[in-house]
Amino acid sequence: MKVYVIDNGGQWTHREWRVLKYLKVDTKIVPNNTPFEEMKDVDALVLSGGSPSIASEAGRMGLNGEYLDKADFPILGICAGMQFTSTHFGGTMGPALRPEYGKATLHVEKDGDLFDGLPREFTVWESHNDEVKDLPDEFEILAHSENCRIEAIRHRTRPIYGLQFHPEVENTEHGYDIFKNFLKVVERRKS
Amino acid sequence: MFDAEEFVNEKIEELKGQIPGRAIIACSGGVDSTVAAVMVSRAIGDKLLTIYVNNGFMRKGETEDVDLMFGRLGINYKLVDASDEFFNAMKGVTEPEAKRKIIGERFIRVFEREAKAYHAEYLVQGTIAPDWIESGDGVRDTIKSHHNVGGLPKDMDLTVVEPLRDLYKDEVRIVARYLGIEVSERQPFPGPALAIRVIGEATREAVEVVREACAIVEEELEKASKQKRMERPWQYFAVLLPCQSVGVQGDRRAYGRTIAVRSVESIDGMSAAYSKVPYEVLERISFRITSEMKANVNRVVYDITNKPPATIEWE
């Protein structure tokens, strides 16, 4: 299985690569201006988190939009990756009323593939100044936290997922399980 | 998960091709650079000279311990005392990024001199993933310039080799255990050393104060973990703050300095939670610092911030 990590400049981009590598996935970190055609043989993409405000500044998210338009394989957007995904499909984002850094409690509302077999409440690690304000109709909310209404999303018809928190960080509980659940989606679509 | 044997074998082969001539390695005696030194010395043997620089900011007894450890490793090494040079360069410097960059450059100037004397063209460093990630690049914000990446001067004439670039601390420890390196479990200690544990100018006097406080924090937390009163934390130290506060010592007004105690739990240094140290252990640390260092410090505080939003070190 081949899953590339699109580098949007996050502090934990390399951690996403490490988690995928530990899960025995053929993986590589690539710049976010890598032409889609060069990644034709991948089975999925992870859109990494980014440097501050990157998701709302034109041009800085490179070709992330093109990947979302053209991919027929699963995509998981993390932090800025999720924020960009929602705005790309017509949602809105903006500065969070209460930004979250470090520890938070996640409340799962729906399994939505990613949370299959996981508890309804667990500790996750956050690092964001912005948040998704309005979600486009094609998406549904899967989880929230005390200070953030939209912590996890799923596209209703396409295999596109988003997480505001960081499953790749050691302090996040069930981080590996969430990646494994995403990889199960990838596996199902392959076969 | 992570296969140390495979990693070591692959890297040693790669290093043989990467370093055709002589090389020096910058080695602090910590786990990352010692692992790199052992691996490169297996790859190129006597063509490697290991160099430890005493920058004047090392911990209590550290230079002596490293000297003994290198001796036991049986590698080709040299200790360089450059403390005057570093203290002079730090005069009047208070901004954390300026401190880190000046220290990074000083290190390189020392290594350039040593490389010239040894006729080496390659500089090996024990750089690991968080060092280059946090130093920033074209797409990534600079959180702090690690001396061995963001602190490198542009005009250096050595070729840098970094065999551990893609590893995190937990993986380096696995490699260290596989290689039988005695410092495999040593706590992380940043390259700029105590200079970034003095907030403000790192004068000789201030470094001496934080050196003593760090020694007390290390002794007490290590003792408490040996007695099974707590797990040994991932990283634990003292920071000298640039603020004074009022106290009363033996019926006399005091107006002394403040030490912050920092202790965190982490796996890879990229995220961390503050340690839930038992109150009795914290109290003992506070008591020892304020009584043994009473001329300098009259207040001790405990840092209860996770990473993020804080970083592990204060600068």
- The pLDDT tens digits along chain A (191 residues) read 999 999 999 999 999 999 999 999 999 999 999 999 999 899 999 999 998 788 788 788 999 999 999 999 999 999 999 999 999 999 999 999 999 999 999 999 999 999 999 999 999 999 999 999 999 999 999 999 999 999 999 999 999 999 999 999 999 999 999 999 999 999 999 88
Both tokens of B73, joined, read 């490793």
Q: Kindly state whether A53 is in contact with chain B, defined as any CB-CB distance less than 8 angstroms.
A: no
Q: For all residues of chain B together, what is the average pLDDT?
A: 96
Output the six-digit token pair for B4.
Answer: 């140390």
SS3 label, residue B201: coil
Residues A67-73: contacts with CB under 8 Å, at least 24 apart: A67/A6, A67/A36, A67/A39, A68/A160, A70/A36, A71/A36, A71/A45, A73/A42, A73/A43, A73/A44, A73/A45, A73/A159, A73/A186, A73/A189
Cis omega (within 30 of 0) on the bond before B309? yes
Position B199 scores a pLDDT of 98
A14/A48 Cα distance (integer angstroms) = 9
Bond prior to A31 in cis (omega within 30° of 0)? no
Q: In this predicted structure, what is the pLDDT of residue B119?
A: 97
Per-residue pLDDT of chain B (315 residues; tens, 9 = 90+): 899 999 999 999 999 999 999 999 999 999 999 999 999 999 999 999 999 999 999 999 999 999 999 999 999 999 999 999 999 999 999 999 999 999 999 999 999 999 999 999 999 999 999 999 999 988 899 999 998 998 888 888 899 999 999 999 999 999 999 999 999 999 999 999 999 999 999 999 999 999 999 999 999 999 999 999 999 999 999 999 999 999 998 899 999 999 999 999 999 999 999 999 999 999 999 999 999 998 899 999 999 999 999 999 999
Cβ separation B306–A103 shorter than 8 A: yes
A9–B266 CB contact, under 8 Å? no
Please compute, for residue A82, the number of CA atoms within 13 A of its CA located in the half-sphere on the CB side.
27
Give the active site residues of A: 79, 166, 168
- In angstroms, the CA A160 to CA A44 distance is 10
Q: What's residue B278's pLDDT?
A: 98
Q: State whether residue A67 sits within 8 Å of chain B by CB.
A: no
Residues of B near A (Cβ–Cβ under 8 Å) read: 1-2, 129, 133-134, 139-141, 143, 166, 168, 266-268, 270-273, 306-309
Min CA distance, A8 vs chain B (Å)?
A: 7
**Identity of the amino acid at B105:** E
The helix/strand/coil state of B89 is: helix
pLDDT (tens digit per residue) in B41-86: 999 999 999 999 999 999 999 999 999 999 999 999 999 999 999 9
Rounded Cα gap, residues B260 and B237, in angstroms: 9
Closest chain A residue by Cα to residue B272: A171
Contacts of A126 in chain B (CB under 8 A): 308
pLDDT at A191: 82
Secondary structure tally for chain A: helices H, strands E: 4, 9
CA angle B233, B53, B41 (to 5 degrees): 85
Domain boundaries in chain A? 2-190
Do residues A172 and A125 make contact, with C-beta atoms less than 8 angstroms apart?
Answer: yes
* pLDDT value of position B295: 87
**Cα–Cα distance between A183 and A114 in angstroms, integer?**
9
Q: Do B140 and A103 touch (CB under 8 A)?
A: no
The residue type found at B278 is: P
Interface size, chain A vs chain B, as Cβ–Cβ contacts under 8 Å: 58
| Per-residue pLDDT at A72 | 95
pLDDT of residue B150: 86
CATH number 3.40.630.10 is the correct assignment for the domain at A2-190: no
Which pLDDT score is estimated for A17? Answer: 98
